[in-house]
Amino acid sequence: MKVPASNFDPTGWRYELESALEAPELAAFDTTEAPGPEAAAAAFRVALCLGYCRLFGVELPADIDGTLPAREAMAAAEELIAHINVLVQEARELPSRWDTAPPGTEQEYCADLLQACMDSWAAFLAISEAHEDCVIQREPEAQEFDRVLDRLLDALDHLDDTLREPEIISLLATLAGSALLENWRRMLGMPDRGFVPWWLDGTLERESQRIEAESLAAWRQLQALGKVPAPKRPADLPTPSTIQRHSAAAILDIPVDVALAAEPADEAPPVPAILQWASPDGRWIARLSRPRQVPAGGRLPLEFLDSAWQPAVDLCGQPVWLAGQQETIDAQARASFDVQSLQNALPAADQPLTLEVGKERTEWQAIQSE
């Protein structure tokens, strides 16, 4: 069910805008004196909240909606320029911060920077809307506003250029595939949206794939030279009790008796879930599309992919066990399993669904299901 536009405030930005408009510091713009830093910060906060409402399509009631007055908008722009200068410094320090960050916090620095980019974009939207209005209405501040906006655009370009320097973007690319980017895209209504900034247009994903491809090439080169460390001993691998596993319910819930039904019972998608696993070294992914009903032939295909999401043809010929049922990975990096045999092998829905690959039957780890 679609949420009525008037109630659409999934990220609370309307609420934040209401709060921002209550800042007493904004009263400084009612005088002829130059606004102080507190007033400029309050104006920036209004620009940020208003810009996010525009970005995410939040409908505003008449008493809240509007355009930033020119003086507030110029002060917000100056504040944003100062902020961008700090961000450029933060971005330049990202590589050294990454190297010295406590484990588990490195990516947070990258996410923080992209969050700052989103904020800059949102605030810029509100500021440029105010600029357009100021120019069209031929307000006395128009010329001065032109100059401020030019400087803001230069600052934004400078930030973009800095973030896209090879050493920095290679770290930002670690966010490719993250929930953060995916959530932003969904909230912005992509892919239908016209303009999207570079951090959401696939640039980071392409950079990530490039790095992965380079890493793999280097790995293979080392393998060829015999310089790759010995394979992990079984004792080094995750113990069975620590491995994440999917539940057998995913297989047992597939209704076998409607396998050859001509039409699905409703208009639900034919594949309600995709189960995924990752190899212990993180090089390979396995994906099993769990259908709503058994496909013709009664077999489920399990795909194997490499880090670039291409068929993992290097695994061709390897044995694979799903719930203990053995098959072999074919030349298209697939193995298909008989649903009835899988269901017979799984005693109960709360039992684990294991995937083992290779002659040593290495168990792979369950990862986020789609």
Partner 1 sequence: MSANNFDMPQSKAVVWHDLPDPRDPNAPGGARTQLVLERWSWEHILDKHVLPGREPWGDILSLDTFRNLRRSKSPANFGDPMVADAIARLESQVRQTLQRPLVLLLEVRRLGQSRPNPSRVWMLVLPSGAVAYVHERKKGNRLATCYFPAYSLVNSNRGFRWRRVASSLVLRYAIFDTQRSALLLPTPDTVRFSPRKGPVRELHSAIRFVTPASWGFCPDLEGCPWRGRLGEWSAAETATARSRRRLKPRRPRATDEDEQELNS
Q: Which of residues 24-83 bind partner 1 (CB under 8 A)?
A: 24, 26-27, 37-38, 41-42, 44-46, 50, 63-69, 79-80, 82-83
Count of C-beta atoms within a 10 Å radius of residue 37: 12
Question: Degrees (nearest 5) of the Cα angle 120, 122, 126?
Answer: 110
Is the Cα dihedral 101, 107, 111, 114 positive or negative? positive
**According to CB under 8 A, which one of 6, 19, 223, 332 is a site residue for partner 1?**
19
Cβ atoms of 178 and 208 closer than 8 Å: no
Site string for partner 1, 325-364 (x = CB under 8 A): ----------------------------------------
Give residues 217-236 in contact with partner 1 (rule: CB under 8 A).
Answer: 219, 232, 236
Helix axes 37-55, 106-136, angle to 10 degrees: 90
Which lies closer to partner 1 via its Cβ, residue 73 or residue 294?
A: 73
Q: Does 128 bind partner 1 (CB under 8 A)?
A: no
For residue 319, the cross-strand partners are 328
Cβ atoms within 10 Å of 300's Cβ, excluding its own: 21
> Distances from the Cα of 70 to the Cαs of 29, 122, 148, 154, in angstroms?
10, 17, 11, 20
Q: What is the closest distance, in whole angstroms, from the C-beta atom of residue 282 to partner 1 in the complex?
A: 4
Does 2 participate in binding partner 1 (rule CB under 8 A)? yes
Site for partner 1 in 302-321 (CB under 8 A): 307
Tokens coding 305: 């992919």
Q: Which lies closer to partner 1 via its Cβ, residue 50 or residue 294?
A: 50
Among 6, 10, 324, 347, binds partner 1 (CB under 8 A): 10
Q: Which of residues 248-307 bind partner 1 (CB under 8 A)?
A: 276, 278-283, 307
* In the complex, minimum distance from the CB of residue 332 to partner 1, in angstroms, rounded to a whole number: 23
Strands 246-247 and 273-278: unpaired
Site string for partner 1, 154-193 (x = CB under 8 A): ----------------xx--x-xxxxx-xxx-xx------
Q: Is 366 in the site for partner 1 (CB under 8 A)?
A: yes
For partner 1, the binding residues in 80-119 under the rule CB under 8 A are 80, 82-83, 86-87, 89-90, 97, 100-105, 107-109, 111-113, 115-116, 118-119
Residue 367, amino acid: I
Q: Is 142 in the site for partner 1 (CB under 8 A)?
A: no
Tell me how far apart the alpha carbons of residues 243 and 364 are, in angstroms, rounded to a whole number. 8
* Residues in contact with 173: Cβ distance below 8 Å, sequence separation at least 6, in sequence order: 204, 205, 207, 208, 211
DSSP state of 309: S
Pick 226 or 282: Cβ nearer partner 1: 282
Rounded alpha-carbon distances, angstroms, from residue 204 to 126, 166, 210: 26, 12, 10
16 touches partner 1 (CB under 8 A): yes
Q: Which is nearer to partner 1, 52 or 321 (CB)?
A: 52
The nearest distance, CB 107 to partner 1, in angstroms, is 7
CB of 102 to partner 1, least distance (A): 4
